[in-house]
């Protein structure tokens, strides 16, 4: 009978340890999920900012092209005047 009680006591202790481990694993899982959500939010922000940069780059290229065109026309007029 003592063997059965000892075995049950050990088994109960092991179950308690497993429950503690399960609680810790769930806590870690929750932390990981929270960090993954933060990364996803940052990824979304980075994508939006990247889109803004692309739009600004396009605007700068168009503006540069227009300035170059105006400059070229000015040079051509200056050449006509000086010749």
How do residues 11-51 score in pLDDT, each as one tens digit? 788 888 999 999 999 999 999 999 999 999 999 999 999 99
Averaged pLDDT score across all residues of the chain: 90
Between 8-17, 48-57, 73-82, the lowest mean confidence (pLDDT) is in 8-17
User: Alpha helices of 1-83 — where are they, by DSSP H?
Assistant: 2-82
Angle at 63 between CA 67 and CA 81, to 5 degrees: 10
Number of C-beta neighbours around residue 13 at 10 A:
10
Task: Give the pLDDT score at 2.
Answer: 43
pTM score, two decimals? 0.60
Q: Give the 3-state secondary structure of residue 61.
A: helix
Mean pLDDT of 52-74: 96
């Amino acid at each position: 009978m003592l063997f059965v009680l000892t075995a049950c006591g050990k088994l109960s202790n092991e179950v308690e340890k497993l429950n503690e481990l399960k609680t810790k694993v769930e806590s870690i899982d929750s932390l990981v999920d929270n960090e993954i959500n933060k990364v996803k939010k940052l990824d979304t922000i980075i994508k939006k900012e990247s889109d803004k940069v692309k739009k600004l780059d396009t605007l700068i290229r168009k503006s540069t092209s227009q300035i170059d065109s105006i400059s070229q026309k000015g040079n051509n007029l200056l050449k006509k005047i000086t010749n």
